[in-house]
Amino acid sequence: MSTLQKQIILGFAVILLGAFFWYFLHYVFYVGNLTTGCWIAGGTLFLLWGIGLCLAMLLIDDNKVLYGSFLITLGLFGLFFNNEPFYYLAGLIILFAAFCSASAMIKREEEIQVNLNFWRIWQRGLPRLLTALFIVVALVYFFSPHPAEIAKREITIPRETFNSVIKPFEKLITERLPEGVNDLDIEASKILTPKEIKELKDKYNIELKEDETLKDFIYKLANYQLNVAPDPYKKFIPIGLAIALFLSLKIVSFIFVPLTILLSWLIMKILLALKFTRIERETKEVETVKL
């Protein structure tokens, strides 16, 4: 098998794994219904693509094969995500630039080493590439339905939590109530007038039933305030979630990068044993300055 054929095989592996990774992203952010097995499969897929990229950036010398395969992978992105082409294009340009930079850094590190240290070689470029990839993932999440759904989701305080929190303040609250009201278990209709009850329903969508107590009313009022208060800031929730996802992925990368490099090293050893690739010693001329 010729060197070019081997490089094409590596390039095809990058394309195939990249396509599956885009599909997984689409499934996660647009389909949902995720199980533990799905997350394990997705993590494994991400790891395999990382290994493929590491091997490709190091072993593929033909720039047409290297950059062409990655460009095809980026092109496949459009099959799954095309709702915001301008922003996605900007993200993909950043990712491609990071890939070119990471590849150049990896090859430069390989050239200056006397005895190959794969850890140092891949460590030079992989983190930069992953950072750009995480930006694309955060963009996909930002434009998916999930952040908007979370922003619209109603927040409800668990009743048990509310009862526990309000209990120490019951005496303080009853002191401010009309004379004769000694606890919060009195029916709310005995404190509020029919007009006030109707106004609560019409203006604030707080409906009080006849047998509901004053404590029930306070509980509903607390939930209402909890959902109304952040209204002016809800538009910032999607971008906040996207940034949080990006930062979370960056934290995960502290584990992912060493693991990817370790597995890439093991795959490299297997490829060397199978004679798919080889290590050669070269004599290089270098410039020195002397007196």
Positions in the chain short of pLDDT 70: 33-34, 148, 150-155, 179-181, 229-233, 284-291
Q: Letter for the amino acid at 226?
A: L
- The Cβ of residue 190 has, within 10 Å, a number of other Cβ atoms equal to 11
Kindly state whether residues 25 and 130 are assigned to the same domain. Answer: yes
- Same domain assignment for residues 54 and 159: no
pLDDT of 265-286, one tens digit each?
A: 999 999 888 888 888 777 766 6
d(CA 247, CA 250): 5
The reported pLDDT for the residue numbered 68 is: 94
pLDDT in the model for residue 77: 93
Neighbours of 126 (CB within 10 A): 24
Q: Give pLDDT, residue 65.
A: 92
Residue at 286 is within a domain: no
Domain count of the fold of the chain: 2
Shared-domain flag, residues 193 and 257: no
- Nearest-angstrom CA–CA distance, 52 and 264: 8
Residue 290 belongs to some domain of the structure: no
- 264 and 202 assigned to the same domain: no
In a domain, 282, yes or no: no
Q: Is residue 254 part of a domain?
A: yes
Last residue of a domain, one of 229, 256, 283: 229
| Together in a domain, 99 and 125 | yes
Q: Give CA–CA dist 76/222, Å, rounded.
A: 48
Q: What is the token pair recorded at 82?
A: 């095309």
Statement to judge: residues 129 and 35 lie in one domain: yes
| Same-domain pairing of 135 and 247 | yes
Structural domain that includes position 40: 3-143+235-273
pTM: 0.75
